[in-house]
Structure 1
Amino acid sequence: MNRISIFLLILPLALFSACSGKNKTEAAEFFERGNYHFKKHEYERAIELFSEAIEKVPDFADAYNNRGLCYESSGNLERAIGDYRKAVSLDDSFDQAKLNLAAALNHAQQLDESGKLFAELQAVYADSAQFLNYRGQYFLNRFDSDRALIDFEKLIKNFGPNPENLTNLGYAYYQKRDYAQAKTQFERALAIDPDFAFALNNLAATLAQTNDWAQALSYSSRLVKNHSTELNFLNTHALNLLENQQLNEAAEFIHKALKIDPANPYSLRNKAVLALKSENGAEAREILEKVEAQNPEVEFLYYYLGRSVESKTKACAHYQRGAKLHDSRCEMALSDC
């Protein structure tokens, strides 16, 4: 999701520390060139140039902030957070750097510090689209779907719908288990951009929750055509293949996912489902119990655990645990207990 913003204006040289005039001029030139390469998504080169600016003027807060944006864009979240922190330490009034830091901390699951920054910035940004987007994502991470809904609905009302905002709104409804509304928002996102990956993935997951596995597979098939290396998407598609009895193709996607991350709990769940559908309940149960020990929140985990045991009493006990976690398939399975 788009979480990046950048300052493209050069700060007045008078705001720099007591460096030589030559250093100030050169720092400003490096900064401007860094912005140019950032806009072209040439992050490695932009990082080099922002670093040159910092070397010339060590308290150049904007250069730290913009280098942080480059690090974040290239996947180095830890270094991005370090640069945002440095920018804020150099200029406590640098609210954009604080907002970037809050969003990055949220992405890194450092939610307490992120929440404090969002609370501090609320009065500054009020109805800012970027702030509503970032804070809405924070509320989703907190599983506070009601407040996430407020932010995303306000964002869409004030600034209009786009695929990202509609997908985030849909995910807030998904967290509330309102699958009809979630489906509507994901479909609205896809009406704007038929290839928007997160909407495709989330719509497939929503259809799975309503047991519409054939339709779920149609969306995840579209998804993996253009995103064949994204772990979450691979896992979504693999489960849809499994539930549509396409076991050989599912095995290929499970293998690919486990190669990316052998410990991913959703990939391991899918490996267990493959074993279960291959009539190897003991292997499936062993894998699922290991997943349960570390990641009991994995969707459909208790449903498959119930399917992996021969005793109806034990199966129903698993379904009951899953139902307490609002697992839709466990809730349905309990009707036979």
Structure 2
Amino acid sequence: MNFQFLNRYLLIILVITSIGCGNQRKKDAADFFLKANHAFQQKNYTEALRLYDEAINKNPDFADAYMNKGICLMKMSQPADAYEILTEAIRIDPTLTQANLVRAEVALNLGRTAEADADLKLIEKDYKDSSRYFLIRGDLFQARNESALSVSDYDRAITLDSTNTEALVNRGALYYNQANYALAQHDFRRALTIRPSQIEALNNLGLIAIHQHKHDEALRLFDQILYLNPANALALNNKGYTLLQLGRLDEAVKLIDRSLDIMPENGYALRNMGIYHMKSGDVEKALAEYNKAIEIAEPVEELYGLTGQAYFKKGDSSNACKIWKQGSVLKDALAISELKLHCK
């Protein structure tokens, strides 16, 4: 399975700086800026990036162009470059607090929580009534495993804007991780009433359906995602996992394999490929996939428990107990159970 917080990018209003008509280069920069914004809104990010660069070339002090270029780079999955460009925007215009808000989110994408915290504290007073501010700060607390503070900020974000689907999805994700499926479902369903095509909410409801052994409902939800985006790696993998639970191995492995083609470093898909090989009777191949998932060093549900089971099945109780001990430290429920059952 693959659980999802909202994998969002930045939907900040694109702003325009007042430019004096007497300066031709600044006027040209403004023209390029407006064209870039139009391309951005049309989701033509490559062209938008080129036009922002043209605007900056005409006016190197054009802070808004730097900021929007940073947003564009995030859309293009280039967060490190985005961070640098946003830093330049702030250097040019320290009063452009919107750039700090964007940079805080970029920093979170990069795992740089200290930098995100610094930006958010800097603009806290200016954004005391901003739903987006509390959403991003809630994400920061979540990254620090401070769940109570995170939920509090998501609550505040939703109070300020009841249509904030991002906050609903992320709060629901926290409830899911706490195994509070009723509250999680409520948030995901609320998000879908606002945006019926909200992929993260559909995905997470599908995972709850799996936990509730409602596999037909799970398949329906994952199929909804794949109708919207046939190349959604997480939905392909999660549908494959559902089919594994139903014993439909041939169908399952095709979907998991497609998921890995799109997202090779997906620990859940590697784990699921391991489950497929275990169910097919090939313990060595299963172990190879499980160990690839472990090498990624990201939390994957039951991964250590399943890996230990594979070692145990091939008669290697020493490595089985070793991996279960590691999983117990990481709070892998299956590993904890197996360790108690088989190891002294």
Q: Structures share a fold, TM > 0.5?
A: yes
Unaligned runs of 5+ in 2: 1-7
Alignment of 1:45-84 (within 5 A): 45-84=47-86
Partners of 1:75 and 1:187 in 2: CA distance: 28
Q: 1:37 to 1:261 in 2, by over 3 A?
A: closer
The higher relative CO (CA closer than 8 Å, separation ≥ 6) is in 2
What residue number does 1:180 align with? 182
SS of structure 1 residue aligned to 2:188: helix
- C-alpha distance in 2 between matches for 1:120 and 1:156: 22
Kindly state the Cα deviation for residue 54 of structure 1 after the two structures are TM-superposed: 1.2
- Kept in 2, the 8 Å contact 1:10–1:32? The answer is no
Q: Tell me the equivalent position of 2:125.
A: 123
Is the contact between residue 6 and residue 69 of structure 1 (CA under 8 Å) also seen in structure 2?
no
1:133 equivalent to 2:140? Answer no
The separation in 2 between residues aligned to 1:307 and 1:171, in whole angstroms, is 29
Quick one: percent identity of the two aligned structures?
A: 29
- Mapped contact 2:175–2:184 kept (Cα < 8 A): yes
SS in 1 for 2:306: helix
Moved more, 192-201 or 147-156: 192-201
Does the CA-based 8 Å contact 1:71-1:80 persist in structure 2? yes
Relative to structure 1, the CA distance from residue 196 to residue 48 in structure 2 (aligned partners, 3 Å threshold; closer, same or farther) is same
Deviates more, 1:217-226 or 1:234-243: 217-226
Cα displacement (A) at 1:213: 4.5
Query: Per-residue deviation at 1:150?
Result: 0.9
Contact conserved, 2:157 with 2:164, CA < 8 A, in 1? no
In structure 2, the partner of 1:165 is 167
Matches within 5 A, 1:303-318: 303-308=305-310, 309-310=312-313
Distance 1:305 1:80, change over 3 A: same
Give the direction of change, closer, same or farther, for the CA distance of 1:137–1:218 in structure 2 (3 Å limit). same
**Could you tell me which residue of structure 1 aligns to residue 264 of structure 2?**
262
Q: Whole-Å Cα distance in 1 between the matches of residues 42 and 186 of structure 2?
A: 35
Please state if 1:9 is matched with 2:39. no
Report the TM-score, using the length of structure 1 for normalisation: 0.86
Map of 1:248 onto structure 2: 250
Match of 1:30 in 2: 32
Q: How does 1:313-332 map to 2 (within 5 A)?
A: 322=327, 324-329=329-334
Count of residue correspondences? 332
Contact in 2 for aligned 1:302/1:319 (Cα 8 Å): yes
1:219-270 CA distances to partner (integer Å, 9 max, x unpaired)? 2232223222222332222222211211111111122122224343222211
State the Cα distance separating 1:128 from its structure 2 match. Answer: 0.6
Q: Which amino acid aligns with 2:237?
A: N
Please say which of residues 142-151 and 2-11 is displaced more in the overlay: 2-11
Secondary structure of 2:230's counterpart equals: coil
Aligned pairs for 1:164-313 (under 5 A) are 164-209=166-211, 212-295=214-297, 297-308=299-310, 309-310=312-313
| Structure 1 letter corresponding to 2:11 | I
User: In the alignment, is the contact (CA less than 8 A) between 2:131 and 2:157 conserved in 1?
Assistant: yes
Equivalent position SS for 1:93: coil
Report if aligned partners of 1:186, 1:200 keep a CA contact under 8 Å in 2: yes
Q: Give how far 1:131 is off.
A: 0.9
**2:99 is matched with which residue: 97, 100, 108?**
97
Deviation by residue 1:132-163 (Cα, 9 ceiling, x = unmatched): 12222222333322222111111112211443
Tell me the SS of whatever aligns to 1:125: coil
Cα separation, 1, equivalents of 2:144 and 2:239 = 26
Change over 3 Å in CA distance of 1:194–1:321 after alignment to 2: farther
Conserved 8 A contact 2:176-2:184: yes
- In 1, are the aligned partners of 2:241 and 2:272 still within 8 Å (CA)? yes
Once residues 130 and 296 of structure 1 are traced to their aligned partners in structure 2, the CA distance between those partners, rounded to angstroms, is: 27
Query: Which residue identity lines up with residue 72 of structure 2 in the other structure?
Result: C
- Cα distance in 2 between the residues matched to 1:12 and 1:68: 21
Cα distance change on mapping 1:185 and 1:333 into 2, 3 Å:
farther
Conserved 8 A contact 1:322-1:331: yes
Shift of 1:336: 6.4
Q: Does the 8 Å contact 1:272/1:287 carry over to 2? A: yes
* Residues 225 and 36 (structure 1), Cα distance of their counterparts in 2 relative to 1, 3 Å cut: closer
The 1:138–1:206 alpha-carbon spacing in structure 2 relative to 1, beyond 3 Å, is farther
CA distance in 1, matches of 2:177, 2:241: 20
- Aligned residue in 2 for 1:17: none
